[in-house]
Structure 1
């Protein structure tokens, strides 16, 4: 399949988690991909995997909250592939604790990565994406932008900010022919999710059980894989979604469709 043939994509956070599912998906669909990660060896590993199945990819690394990281990634896309059509922002971190427990430094760290990192990537990428005939930006947010669990105000607030940013960018970029959308995944089997489980137990079997248990909160009865989110991102970034902009697509297995109140099981005689 080649719906991204001839296109160039930059995926921030592409070396791990959801971004690790996005970058190979875009490449399989024909895109040349710049894989960004915090650690160069991890980003290079993903780029090497893409190259092994015959697609073009290069790696870059650095803290996404620093301007030079995004500037360097965009320059790499231009130098290696001659342009830029797609930006997918997937880099993100979690910080646990309520507002009292969250330090000012922790709050700033979450927003530097989750929000400022997206702004900086778009700031440097958009002048070139505007030159594309089918320019697109996809921002990875979270269901926690809409409904939050306990103890993650910094993360939830940052993800809510991304929904607002995506809408604002869609309005501004539309006249340039660039579409901007976001996706809001539910629980996804990523290192971040497993690190959350490890806060409660160090036993690998117990972590596995806890991840499966979290999956039962979703009507589909399981957590997502990064590749499942990557498939939706790929669609939104593709010409097939040519009139979709300013939207947020939930990839949550029905999580936000379910009311928390549980009905009792009916008696056998009432069935």
Structure 2
């Protein structure tokens, strides 16, 4: 009897990976493939009119449709629909690497914390960015949904954990922007969602944004890409404080 093993301690916690989508046909396949080690992959789609849903279903993914609620509420809806308590929230332009997958599986054998910060390696215009304040870019993505939930913010949402948090070491890859045009398009949309009209900040904050990213956060070490990122984020800051909510 002294040699009986407690199987409950050895059993890995089941994992659901959730992804929200809208017209993501060009990037969703690789996201799902990187997530296919999970016990469940759930797509919450907000009405795509391209082949996003068909691609997801062809890969054996569970797909649910939900009209757009804003980023925070949409992601919260996705985790509520997930079958398992342990959740990893993955965006369609993010990829779980093999090393991160192995680390997640090891953690789920006996989780020490209620939520985990995951480092992100952001790619801008085809290049990984290690400065500009963009790395390691920790964000909570792996958590027990009984202890964590998303804020209802329409943009720049985050996970709040009612409990303890830890950090993983291996980064996921974020294919942030493959062209300047897409960056401008997305930041123009985000600046409208997060608009806080303030003329004084519109005049001052863009200069501070550039200085902080390019000099204080060592963006110059990323070469031309670092300069572009600092310049484009300063433009986003200007839009945010210029637009009416």
Q: TM-score, normalised by structure 2?
A: 0.37
Q: Which has the higher helix share?
A: 1
Scaled by the length of structure 1, the TM-score of the pair is 0.34
Higher strand share: 2
